[in-house]
Amino acid sequence: MAREGVCPLFCRKFLLPFIALTRAILALGVTQIIGYGTLYYAFGVMAVPLTADLGVSLPFAFGAFSAALLAGGAVAPVAGRTIDRYGARRVMAWGSAGSAIALVVLSQAGGAVGLILALILCEGVAALVLYDAAFAALAQAAGAARARRAITLMTLMGGFASTLFWPLTHVMNENLGWRETLLIFAALHVFVCLPLHLTLPRLSEDTAPAKPGLATAPHFPTLPVARHGKAMLWLAIGFSLGGIVLSALGAQWVPTLHALGLTEAAAVAAGTLMGPAQVAVRLLDLFFGVLRHPLGFAILSGAALALAFVVLLVAPVGLPAAMVFAALFGVASGSASIVRGTVPLCLFGTEGYAARLGTLAGWRLATSAAAPFALSLSLAGLGANVTLALACGIAAGSALALTQVPRR
């Protein structure tokens, strides 16, 4: 009888939880690709035909997008608290429906006011379906010990959003038009993301897998409650400063390198190294980073970002220096998306996890929303070298702020 009970016990305690977590990682990886691709990356590709059709300027459109990101930052803390209370499964499912509605509204925009309101709606519901919500979903499904590796695996998939949706959006715009493209994107949220989010474990379920499963991270003691305030303050400062630089350069990559003296073709060629660098650093974290506290990885990310600007400032202007810059920038960008989920998890545990992510996201989005516009003003008024030196100082400040976060 004992032997007869081994197989059902193994399935219930080990195999089924492992399958559930793997399914959650794959499902969220797909929804993050679609979410970021349609709600974030697609706008930059369709901005030109969209503005021409609506009769607004390109700077106005990107200003509206920045305002929408600010709105998303205001929604993020509320979204986090809602996920903690009702579970990521329910909130992300409603977020999929809301994303579809927002994209339909954007597709019907008829002028400047309609564009602003539609973009605010898009970025507001984005807080319910993008990385911070997905991190909370994995923590609820896996528990603190196993969520770190699950987060890395999921972000490894999500990193392909721009690779897939930049060319896809361009082709669809050319052949269908931007309004029809947005309607198809809305359908993706209804027919792909919504069903996948409904497969996530319910909040009340005990879905944390036991051995065998994804390798368990070493146990890092969480901070005592008395030190939570200090840790959150320095995390907010560090993540926000890093977000300013990443947001600014991510949106103004070609103009910045062109202002430094590179041709647009060279800037684009160097930028192709960012994607492989992001994948490489996520793979390193997947196989080796789990043995170390993620706060150290976060500090190295900020240091790599500062070093990237040092290279660009001191090396001779040319493609080789730009390629090194792009690789280091990709390392910082690729690791930043991981540590914003894993560091709070290891420092505070799963209790109130989504609310903390929402608070940190709110500060990060609020400070980085206007960064691309500020960078363009600085390039025009102060020049490339001074602007890059300022960016280097902000990146270094990010790394220094994270060194002040207590670990135990």
Structure tokens at 50: 């969209």
- Angle, helices 319-348 vs 131-142, to 10°: value is 40
pLDDT classification of 114: cutoffs 50, 70, 90: very high
| The domains spanning 6-197 and 225-403 adopt the same CATH topology | yes
From the CB of residue 278, how many other CB atoms can be counted at a distance below 10 Å?
Answer: 26
Write the secondary structure of 316-368 as one string of H (helix), E (strand) and C (coil): CCCHHHHHHHHHHHHHHHHHHHHHHHHHHHHHHCCCCHHHHHHHHHHHHHHHH
Task: Name the one residue in this structure whose structure tokens are 């994804």.
Answer: 214
CATH class (in words) of the domain with range 225-403: mainly alpha
What pLDDT does 233 receive? 94
| pLDDT for residue 211 is more than 50 | no
What pLDDT does 10 receive? 44
Q: What is the pTM of this model?
A: 0.82
Torsion angle, alpha carbons of 379, 381, 385, 387, to 10: -60
Average pLDDT of 367-383? 83
CATH class (in words) of the domain with range 6-197: mainly alpha
Average pLDDT of 367-373? 82
Contact 128, 194 (CB under 8 A): no
Peptide bond into 8 cis (omega under 30): no
> Which of these ranges, 30-44, 180-194, 252-266, 291-305, has the smallest mean pLDDT?
252-266
- Angle, helices 161-176 vs 178-188, to 10°: value is 130
What pLDDT does 213 receive? 46
Structural domain boundaries in the chain: 6-197, 225-403
The model's pLDDT over 55-110, given as tens digits with 9 standing for 90+, comes to: 998 888 888 888 888 888 889 999 999 999 999 999 999 999 999 999 999 999 99
